[in-house]
Amino acid sequence: MDGRKFCCAVVMLVGAALLLAGCGGPPPPRPKPLGPVAPLPSTMGRNPQEVAMERALGDFYGAPYKSGGCSPAGVDCSGLVQALYHQAGVKLPRTVAQQFQEGKPVERGELHFGDVVFFNRYCQTQGREVMMAGLLAPPGYADEVCHNGFYLGGGRFIHASPRGVFISRLNAEVWRVSYRGARRYLPDGK
């Protein structure tokens, strides 16, 4: 190969490498949290279970995501809900689907601190593709639940996603369109 062809081949290889390196793009930015969990106004006269859950929230805020995890060292969505309720002395099943089958259904307009909100965001299809809200989905997908969070009040909920534990707003489009219901687990109905 003469020098000119060699240089041309090197330039093409370097150009292709640079082009391919740019295909992946930078990782998506971490969501900006809506701020730490603000304490509820007062513990006076409040349900001691709610107070226990509120105290546990601070330990989990900002925790990394870990599939199957249920501690501040690493937690997934249903593990977070289970751990918060454990602090209140309430035993919940481990998975999102199991948690959705328990408790008392709650209307969206009736939500208050401690209720658990459920979504079909992050549902998997055929074990490979992540389904996102708003995209075409297979039959039955709309009824599926595979993500949940702990309602804080004021339209905010805390949840564990692949980006860690943070606070989101229920009225954000992605959560609004993937919302599938809520449950209440405290035995006294609060």
Q: Judge whether 51 lies within some domain.
A: yes
Mean pLDDT of 39-52: 71
More confident residue, 147 or 33: 147
Q: Judge whether 142 lies within some domain.
A: yes
CA distance 181 to 120: 10
Q: Judge whether 16 lies within some domain.
A: no
Q: Judge whether 30 lies within some domain.
A: no
- Other C-beta atoms closer than 10 Å to the C-beta of 47 total 16
Q: Judge whether 136 lies within some domain.
A: yes
Find residue 176's DSSP bridge partners.
none
Q: Judge whether 164 lies within some domain.
A: yes
Q: Judge whether 8 lies within some domain.
A: no
Percent of the chain whose pLDDT exceeds 70: 64
For residue 88, give the H/E element and its range.
none
Give the model confidence (pLDDT) of 71-108 as tens digits. 999 999 999 999 999 999 999 999 999 999 999 999 99
Q: Judge whether 27 lies within some domain.
A: no
Residue 158: pLDDT band (50, 70, 90) is: very high
> CATH number of the domain that 75 lies in?
3.90.1720.10
Which pLDDT score is estimated for 37? 55
Q: Is 152 exposed, middle or buried (0-12, 13-18, 19+ CB in 10 A)?
A: buried
Query: Looking at the annotation, which residues are catalytic?
Result: 77, 147, 159
The number of folded domains in the chain is 1
Q: Is 92 exposed, middle or buried (0-12, 13-18, 19+ CB in 10 A)?
A: buried
| Domain housing 143 | 40-184
Residue recorded with tokens 């002395």: 89
Do residues 46 and 22 touch, judged by C-beta distance below 8 A? no
CA angle 171, 92, 77 (to 5 degrees): 40
Lowest mean pLDDT among 26-35, 63-72, 177-186: 26-35
